[in-house]
Chains A and B, each alone.
Chain A
Amino acid sequence: MIALGQFLEVLIGGLMSGVLYSLVALGFVLIFKASGVFNYAQGAMVLLAGLALVRALDLLVANGLPLWVAVVLAIGFAAVIMAATAWLIERLVIGPLVNQDALTLFMSTIGVTFVIEGAAEMIFGSDVYPLRLFPTDAWFLFEGLFPGGILVNKLDVWGALIAGVLVAGLAVFFQRTKTGRALRAVADDHLAAHSIGIPISWIWFVVWLVAGLVALVAATVWGTKLGVQFSITFLALKALPVLIIGGLTSIPGAIVGGLIVGAGEKLAEVYLGPSIGGGIEYWFAYVLALAVLLLRPQGLFGERIIERI
């Protein structure tokens, strides 16, 4: 029973942290689906959202506002910052590059990354800022079944809940609303979307805004876990194998990919670590992604691209 208990504990811990990878990967998928742009700046946007949130929160609390009022106001402030960022990116970068090659657009988002990182640290500061939005203490489940119970971090549970709500919301948005349908239409064919009366610049603003808000959600959870700091941008690197495994065009893919990476790396660390050496967590995801690339290049849930010759 101890062995099973330990296995479950590792598995649950892994799945929970996988959800957090999914949150970051989601932002990539959204923008890629709706505009065919691989947005390298997603990690930087998480940093920007986190900094705006935590700095506003500290300031408001220092001025004696009750905590819940401060939290609501700070989240509102961060959302406005993300909206402004989305608007500027559409106006200054993506809009003028309409109909350009996908690689050109990708390169431009690398530029956007540096600008956002620099601006965010210049405006909001570059220290490590602790964020306390969710409880971070441990929780012991099934103590009757397993000796000592199964340890679960409450923060991870919150993260999973939030991710679930977010994904459900996005799915409904894409499937049911005319804006959601328009987003899918723009992704498929710019010209045709124009001709049925969809204003592309507005749609792109909406996409970047949604990706910005997803970044904000990711920032609340990651910020609580690690503190808001520059290294949060490296999360984007962890999202890459998640995207490759799940498929770049699939929202469920981002979720499942995150879960696979999270659970896989924790299990590998615990069970393979003793025999082949530790530190597996750091490279496991990339090796898995490589294997997926070899066997199923479009990812588990990605759309298969069939070229007629």
Chain B
Amino acid sequence: MRAPDTNEILLEVEGVALAFGGVKALRDVSFNVRKGEIRAIIGPNGAGKTSMLNVVNGFYHPNHGAITFKGRTRAKMQPFEAARGGIARTFQNVALFKGMSALDNIMTGRTLKVRRGLLWQVLRYGPALAEEVEHRRKVEEIIDFLEIETIRKVPVGRLPYGLQKRVELGRALAMEPDLLLLDEPMAGMNLEEKEDMSRFIIDVNNHYGTTITLIEHDMAVVMDLSDRVAVLDHGVKIADGTPAEVKMSQAVIDAYLGVAH
């Protein structure tokens, strides 16, 4: 069931600027993400979408601006600290542990949830065994959910791209995140794979009530999927609103189709 659309703000990004040397990747970008919604950030190539995601996730540290997550404005933060805070993500070019099976990959998503000490884990006895079984049950549930039962023992390096993306989504889900960041979840997919992935994204949002922020450059997919869309171009936010509103915006049309100078 769909999480109720409250107006509670989960993530607030205010006035973020990021520069690499002389290149300004982001200029004074502000937006927010409400709890339970699917929020898209779109824009042409080089608009600064992935940079924005990397800032939220802690891979990059903004030069200016503030990020407030779950009501706490945070200082400079490392990616593993963001993960601890409840932010999971996938990558544009798929970053899986290639030598491990699909199952093991998704199990690594449970790393932060393991509570028993080292010695208990080694002995795999009593409470630690119960815990391991519980993690495994959770992971199998995700595998069923993503319809990848048949490939669970296959080393992911051998899987086709579309399935790798699904395993990566599974690993992020295993973290039971408050906020799920998806970096171009549909990139490089054919139409059928895109439709599958769209369905999974909507299902994740409905079934687990996970708040999702996704990045895409393909406008069509995003418009059907998202509750609200922000548009970036050359590091500046040029539009923000419902898909219908964004579609009508002249600035967006210009950015995507080019404008006669």
Distance in angstroms from B76 CB to nearest chain A CB is 15
What's the interface size class on A, roughly?
20 to 34
Q: Is B246 an interface residue (CB 8 A)?
A: no
Distance in angstroms from B130 CB to nearest chain A CB is 15
A271 contacts which chain B residues (CB < 8 A)?
A: none
The interface centre, meaning the residue of B78, B80, B89, B157 with most chain A CB atoms within 10 A of its CB, is: B80
A187 to B157: give the CA distance in the assembly, Å.
14
A78 to B149: give the CA distance in the assembly, Å.
48
Interface contact A179-B79, CB-CB below 8 Å: no
The interface centre, meaning the residue of A177, A184, A189, A196 with most chain B CB atoms within 10 A of its CB, is: A196
Q: Tell whether A179 pairs with B112 under 8 Å between CB atoms, given A189-B97, A196-B83, A196-B175.
A: no
A185 to B96: give the CA distance in the assembly, Å.
9
A161 contacts which chain B residues (CB < 8 A)?
A: none
Q: Tell whether A196 pairs with B88 under 8 Å between CB atoms, given A185-B108, A188-B100.
A: yes
Interface contact A192-B95, CB-CB below 8 Å: yes
Q: Residue B96 contacts which of A178, A184, A192, A197 (CB distance < 8 angstroms)?
A: A192
Distance in angstroms from A247 CB to nearest chain B CB is 13
Interface contact B80-A199, CB-CB below 8 Å: yes
Interface contact A199-B171, CB-CB below 8 Å: no
What secondary structure prevails in chain A residues at the interface with B?
helix
Distance in angstroms from B98 CB to nearest chain A CB is 6
CB contact list, A284-309 vs B, under 8 A: 303, 306
A166 contacts which chain B residues (CB < 8 A)?
A: none
Q: Residue A178 contacts which of B79, B83, B111 (CB distance < 8 angstroms)?
A: B111
Q: Is B124 an interface residue (CB 8 A)?
A: yes
Interface contact B121-A184, CB-CB below 8 Å: no
Interface contact A184-B100, CB-CB below 8 Å: yes
Interface contact B111-A195, CB-CB below 8 Å: no
A186 and chain B: residue at smallest CB distance: B97
A192 contacts which chain B residues (CB < 8 A)?
A: 91, 95-97
Distance in angstroms from B147 CB to nearest chain A CB is 22
Interface contact B121-A185, CB-CB below 8 Å: no
Chain B 62-90 interface mask (CB, 8 Å, partner A; 1/0): 00000000000000001110011000110
Interface contact B118-A198, CB-CB below 8 Å: no
The interface centre, meaning the residue of A184, A188, A197 with most chain B CB atoms within 10 A of its CB, is: A197
CB contact list, B34-82 vs A, under 8 A: 57, 59, 78-80
Q: Is B236 an interface residue (CB 8 A)?
A: no
Interface contact B84-A188, CB-CB below 8 Å: no
Q: Is A234 an interface residue (CB 8 A)?
A: no
Interface contact B98-A188, CB-CB below 8 Å: yes
Q: Is B109 an interface residue (CB 8 A)?
A: yes
Q: Tell whether A197 pairs with B80 under 8 Å between CB atoms, given A173-B122, A176-B122, A181-B107.
A: yes
Q: Can you list 20 residue pairs at the A/B interface with Cβ under 8 Å?
A: A173-B122, A176-B121, A176-B124, A178-B110, A178-B114, A179-B118, A181-B108, A182-B108, A182-B111, A188-B99, A192-B91, A192-B97, A194-B59, A194-B79, A194-B80, A195-B79, A195-B88, A196-B88, A196-B109, A199-B78
B residues with CB within 8 A of A: 57, 59, 78-80, 83-84, 88-89, 91, 95-100, 104, 107-112, 114, 118, 121-122, 124, 157, 171-172, 175
A residues with CB within 8 A of B: 172-173, 176-179, 181-182, 184-185, 188-189, 191-200, 303, 306
Q: 10 closest pairs, A vs B, by CB? A: A197-B83, A192-B95, A188-B97, A194-B79, A178-B114, A177-B121, A197-B112, A199-B80, A197-B80, A189-B95
